[in-house]
Chain A
Amino acid sequence: MNDFLNRYLPNVMENKSEIWESTYETLYMVFMTSLFSAIFGIALGVILVATDKGGILANRWVYSILEKIVNFFRSVPFIILIALVVPVTRLITGTSIGMNAAIVPLVIGIVPFYARQIQNALLEVDPGIIEATQAMGSGPVEIIFRVYLKEGLTGIIRASSVTVINLIGLTTMAGAIGSGGLGSLAINKGYNRFQLDITFIATILILLLVFVCQFIGDYFTRKSTH
């Protein structure tokens, strides 16, 4: 077995520890970014739905301002966004390179996307149910937490798994600011040094990660559907 691997994946066998480290870095970035994005993204999505015309806290100004911000950040290509938000990154993490620094642009890049997905998921909650709960005397906070987030759960889970998969893609670009991770491994070690087997293994690991996320997402989607 080892002979086989040594013959066909020589560079992989030589850089094993680095590959594990890159995998860890990718997982770390995905996890931390997901955590922050979940909080901001869901909050933003909820605010968008609530302040939208006909929403439970309809407010034209808040809605149109937030919507423009979301659209703006969604339109900027991620690789440019990384450079664009450097001052913010430095303000928050004290540095502009490395794994932790990458989390800032990743969050800024993924939150608008996620918020939109959440917004769409929540819009699928039957407006009749919202009306019924209003008729029962529920206030906005109660409606958000006990109706929107609960009735929209299936949609939220689906949006989350799509977003995490998207995020895994973005983390590979964060290599541009020295974040490490499987993306920079594939480029720096695999591509630049002509070690194709490393690129190959990095791809396999990324795909594996995507499949796992997809699987978990599908599992919970199914579980939350009645």
Chain B
Amino acid sequence: MKMRALTLPIVAGLAAAGISPATAQELAIGLKSEATSMDPQFHQLSTNIQVAKNIFEALTTQDAVQKVTPGLAESWEAIDDTTWRFNLREGVTFHDGSEFTARDVIYSFCRIPLVQNSPSPFTIYSAGIADMTAEDDHTLTITTKATNPLLPTELWSLAIVSADTLGAEEEITYGPDGTCEGMGEVPQAPAFNSPDVAVGTGPYKLETYTRGSEVVLSRFDEYWGGTPDWERVVMRPITSDGPRVAALLAGDVDMIESPPIQDLPRIEDAGLKVVDALSNRVIYLHMQQLEDAPGISGTDGENPLLDPRVREAISLSINRDAIVERIMGGYAVAAGELLPPPMFGTSERPVDPYDPERAKELLAEAGYPDGFSITLGTPNDRYINDEQVAQAVAQMLAQIGIDTRVDASTASQFFSRRNDLEFPIYMAGWGASSGDMSSPLKSLVATYDPDTGMGPTNAGRYSNPEMDALLLEAMSTIDDTKRDRMLQEAETMVLNDYGIIPLHYEQTVWAMKPNLSYEPRVDQYTMATKVEPASE
């Protein structure tokens, strides 16, 4: 008894010390994963980008619903199909006091192909740029190799770094694919772990970066967009779901991203605030369209998935509402398209109904009254409750006679196996970072062609030449109204053919203390700059 009286206050004291007081001056955020580098041009990964976005800016920005708005460029115009003029913002300074000019933009684009060892380079956006010239310090012309209506959208991914800080020469001349001149000695990614190198124009300055532990940012008082809300921002990776929630509940952090759906009731009961938004990510089923598909039995060697009736049956057998309600805890929306309406190129197509009777009929019509056996591939650590959703799908397919075995593996193995076409049917997700229908169509269902770069993620090898032609046309149309219509038409073609089966759109969730507010973002980014003290 005496022992207990002694230990209690000590433990309580420790706990109290563990809580960083949530004064309006400091914001602590628990992140789901850790940025691999502070170099904004190193790794094209949302984890890195969302941290970098606090320190660095781009010519354009995207608001919470992925609408493109001015960033470091105040305005822009397309002069012809391949030439764009950008008017840069004046009076913007970098964290070290140097002035932002067109030279910094050219330097930044030039550096992208020169970043070494990048596991996912930003060159996929910069490679299409043929030339850049500075008309004056604040006017820039960009010439693209091909017509690219999405240029302003894509520019938001390309962070602007400071040419002077990184040691560029006075005169920088643009050349495509790493042939720029006047670059000087280009610092590589590891150098950016120092606040002296990681210099941007963003609202926060890098203070310290302790790998595995935290990123500390401090307010940049001369920020052009007004004084940021927080004196200090601490971003801490807490990769396990449970501890991340517990850290919020215990008050260690003020806000967390991606709390597990099943914990939301508890979080709300604790008086904390939960906000969510429909994301741009759709979870879908893709079916093998080559003659011999592996992992199917009971069909005399035929691939039943070649029959559109079988594909329709699969879609009708799935009770999407039950998945949303039961597995996703209501934090998802049943999907009828590849991108949630009203995003660009969507057609408001209704969600396929749940109709197991009709599904059985279709199977019988297609010549499989007794169903068949199939293996459903899924990652188990990539999407929200992915393994659970796949099991529920298997359960529903079993009800109409398709005996389904779930083959779940970690993302690392799943993606390699999927790319080797090991699954007859697989579940995966697609987030359209551009917020535009051309993104899922081009990657998921356009005919696979390594030479043109079409259909890179089309591991079902679905092919519809008519759709391909329409998509290509849309992708080189600058007129938004026309493009919108063409994309809608192309998407409808694929969905009518059941070339891909959308399941649901994920919802992104954030949980925070009640005295904070955050406008939930479609792109799933957690950005400290957008966290505000709630007005009460």
| A-B complex is real | no
